[in-house]
Chain A
């Protein structure tokens, strides 16, 4: 039986393409020897395992080997036209006042970014620049949090070109949300972005990442964010995946959260043909309070998978997980959520709820909640539901004169409300609700 697993993992066109891309690019990717060694080690994970497929439990519902037909070449640095296009990137946030750091096809574009007049305690820069400069402190942080055996992360490490490098000093309060704008210009290319964000003790910050691009082009994005949240810090993270309709997008958030911190993360998934949204959170300290939420809206043949792994290692932490998805047409929504409570993590209070609303009988929702509890004094629970619009409620609305489509829209917005109401930033919440309303208007 052992011999069976020795079968060469690289066999599809996409896998061969990724190997070729790495071979051709490795010498010019940023970073010194230590980083090159990390890239090589990560690449070897990929060579050993290949693209994840349905027999890999964590990727059961998102068979990347089948879904990824070919590997796009690495995107060239953005030209003037691509940059001009990116001027409106991130407009989806409406009136939300942010500090924008703009990346086009994975490369930092300083002239489109707000890097002037930084608040005290805030350092922002490009990862490529930091690696080229041989920033030892930064490269020492690389890969500390992201799970090295995850093939999506391994490919990101092997091929990362650029990303944001952000540091917030202990005690600093950064009022203006930081907005990492990732924009694809529409070339049939691939970008691998890696961002490192370190938030010092007792600091306060909000970090928004948005990923978008035009429809009609099968570009590929692999984005990873490693985040360290210091003790007593308060960090809100929001990820908006609004890629073009043919795009393949893999995102990873890997965060280590210190004690007595407040941490919220919200995933808003609305775009892309195939999306894998991975969230790995480690609660290392005691008494941290976390809100982990998400809303996914899919139509046509979109496929989106949110995979969450929450590891409680400290005592007395509280986490609330609420994920809602609305699935129309032949869309396929996946939620996998695993909560791990380590032996010492007594008094952990973790509750996970995931609900899918199916707007079509051809839509599919897969929910896989798991609890792994090794401590004895904990409160943990999970619930999962999938169902159609409540016809009795719809009739009540229609009996008051509200037409079918509007009645459904009201009920869908109400359904998503439970997740979106967790966003404390009112303007951002409204911007996302507006995005939901627009999505509803385009329903057939």
Chain B
């Protein structure tokens, strides 16, 4: 059974379907890249999976670990092992980064029937991860993402992912706004987490990120459905030829 199974999903905002019959299966341990032009539905897919208010399915189903995710609130999906790395991570003035991380981790552990992490264990875990991602202690003392650069915000997303150890991480244009050094740090952070039981959906407009996070499968998304699936070489093809032919294919279909 795949870890994630999306069947004929139609969804969007305000009654307007942006995803129009999307079907996708991701097995445990696989990395899938979803590439597509602007407006193809990439971020909508990310929000529908994470459960953002207003992004409602109108048809189809999404099974995560065999459960219908539309029965679950966003926090329940997170506790079940689904993680979304935001394209635009939010700043939360007044909420300390450490408070945020500890509240999130312990809420998930509690929901899974695990004991809360002790303060020293928690601090040790966060500090260790921060070091590998080049996030300094001073940043951890600030409110969540407040005063962070674009690159720091993305690294902070990876820190959260590493701490929360999801089964499936959806990276929504994590490469946008990153210079090459930051891109490498982020990709290293992701690659360290790759293992047999953990899957990734890497949503990106450009092939560049996929040089560092090498996918098992590449999908082309156009007008709300997957129009082509291939291996990692498909990404290079797209980089060379652009999305034009797929946009026409989707229009005809």
Contact = CB atoms under 8 A, between A and B. Distances in A.
A96 interface: no
Given A395-B52, A396-B86, A410-B103, A403 B75 contact: yes
Contacts of A411: 92, 95
A413 B94 contact: yes
Contact of A417 (B50, B53, B94, B104): B94
Nearest to B85: A399
A402 B75 contact: yes
Contacts of A400: 75, 78, 100, 104, 160, 164
B95 A414 contact: yes
A391 B95 CA distance: 15
Interface residues of B, number: 30
Nearest to A396: B90
Contacts of A398: 51, 73-75, 78
A414 B94 contact: yes
Contacts of B107: 401-403, 406
Contact of B75 (A392, A401, A410, A413): A401
Contacts of B73: 398, 403-404
A410 B107 CA distance: 13
B95 A395 contact: no
Interface in A386-430: 391-393, 395-404, 406-407, 410-411, 413-415, 417-418
Nearest to B81: A401
Interface string B42-58: 00000000111100000
Nearest to B50: A399
B170 to A, nearest CB: 10
B124 interface: no
A38 B111 CA distance: 65
Contacts of A417: 94
A417 B146 CA distance: 15
Given A391-B53, A410-B99, A418 B78 contact: no
A413 B96 CA distance: 11
B99 to A, nearest CB: 7
Contacts of B105: 401
B164 A410 contact: no
Contacts of B143: 414
Contacts of A414: 92-95, 143
Contacts of A403: 73, 75, 107
Contacts of A392: 90
B84 interface: yes
A417 B84 CA distance: 28
B211 to A, nearest CB: 28
Interface in B65-100: 73-75, 77-79, 83-84, 86, 89-90, 92-95, 99-100
B108 interface: yes
A401 B95 contact: no
A401 B104 contact: yes
Contacts of A397: 92, 100, 104
A396 B89 CA distance: 8
B104 A402 contact: yes
A414 B103 CA distance: 14
A22 B179 CA distance: 77
A403 B105 CA distance: 12
B94 A404 contact: no
B74 A410 contact: no
Interface in A338-377: none
Contacts of A402: 75, 103-104, 107
Nearest to A403: B75
B141 to A, nearest CB: 14
A413 B99 CA distance: 12
Contacts of A404: 73, 75
B90 to A, nearest CB: 5
A270 B24 CA distance: 52
Given A398-B74, A399-B78, A402-B107, A410 B86 contact: no
A12 to B, nearest CB: 44
Contacts of B94: 413-415, 417-418
A303 to B, nearest CB: 27
A401 B111 contact: yes
Interface string B100-117: 100111011001000000
Given A414-B93, A417-B94, A401 B164 contact: yes
The 9 closest A-B pairs by CB, nearest first: A414-B94, A401-B78, A400-B104, A401-B108, A398-B74, A417-B94, A398-B75, A396-B90, A414-B95
10 contacts: A391-B53, A395-B51, A396-B92, A399-B83, A401-B107, A406-B103, A410-B100, A411-B95, A415-B94, A418-B94
Interface of A: 391-393, 395-404, 406-407, 410-411, 413-415, 417-418
